[in-house]
Amino acid sequence: MGIALQTSPFFQLIEYLAVFFCGIGGGMAAIRKQFDLLTIVITSWLTALGGGMIRDVFLGALPPVGVSNIGFVLTALVSGLIVAVIHPEVHKLKWTMLTLDALALALFAVNGTSKALMYNTSGMTAVFLGTFTAMGGGLIRDILLNEVPQVIKDRHWYIVPAVVGSILTVVVWQMEQQKHITFQMEFILDVAIVVLVVLLRLASVKFDIQVPGAVQRTRAHLPSGRFVRHVVHRARLDGEKLEEKVDARAGDSSSAAQNAGSAQDAGKQ
């Protein structure tokens, strides 16, 4: 999260909850594939903290938080153990889990972007790393479970809210650095960014707002055969004219050389 959020005990608690419920989601994916308990726990850990590990590797912040922060690691592992028991109840809480997943998406996007900025990266780099932090765990989970990644399969807004949140975090950061806003105002804006990302994600699912795909077309508009033959014919004519010019120039050069030779012979005589 941004510096303002990082210093708030309330949002530190929210961040632990985000890790926990991301782990729950990862564990549920492994349970649906009927994997064993160890795989469930590992999947929960990678889903919850995989995005942060990708970010930290890119930043050179080693060892990554996913293996160095004992609080986060234990929270992720415990989430896997818990979901192995309560998975029937979790399966019934679709909208609750969707809301918590959206909250985790928002918090991780803001967190990843802010950490990148603290490492003096450019704004563009921070946006990329914030987006990787938000979606990286789910991407690792799906690859591990041999699934099409959700960020590709789900056409509802998933990456879009994360990118929006990351960009706004950069804007707020720069405003605070230039003293255009106070520390308290930065905190308020960070909270507003988190809420906005959550609302964008939930609204896209609720109202079936999807990212558009390729333009639907059934006919190909290519040059006709007559047009192609005309172009080829013109090219041939131009080529023939070019050859005639080259031959003419070659003939003129040959005649000039012969005349020069004749003049030299006459001079010798």
Secondary structure, 3-state, 96-114: HHHHHHHHHHHHHHHHHHH
Q: Is the pLDDT of residue 253 over 60?
A: no
pLDDT > 90 in the chain, percent: 49
| Contact assessment for residue 197 and residue 165, using Cβ atoms and an 8 Å cutoff | yes
Residue 251 lies in a domain: yes
Q: Is the pLDDT of residue 117 over 50?
A: yes
pTM: 0.76
Residue 157 lies in a domain: yes
Residue 218 lies in a domain: no
Q: Please provide the average confidence, as pLDDT, over all residues in the chain.
A: 83
Domain that holds residue 98: 3-206
Segment 210-220, tens digit of pLDDT: 888 888 888 77
Residue 7 lies in a domain: yes
The reported pLDDT for the residue numbered 187 is 83
Residues 160, 108, single domain; the answer is: yes
- Greatest mean pLDDT range, 7-11, 235-239, 257-261: 235-239
Residues 250, 172, single domain; the answer is: no
The reported pLDDT for the residue numbered 1 is 44
Residues 40, 95, single domain; the answer is: yes
Q: Is the pLDDT of residue 259 over 70?
A: no
Residue 219 lies in a domain: no
Residues 77, 164, single domain; the answer is: yes
Segment 40-97, tens digit of pLDDT: 999 999 999 999 999 999 999 899 999 999 999 999 999 999 999 999 998 888 888 8
Pair of tokens at residue 15: 């961040």
The reported pLDDT for the residue numbered 220 is 76
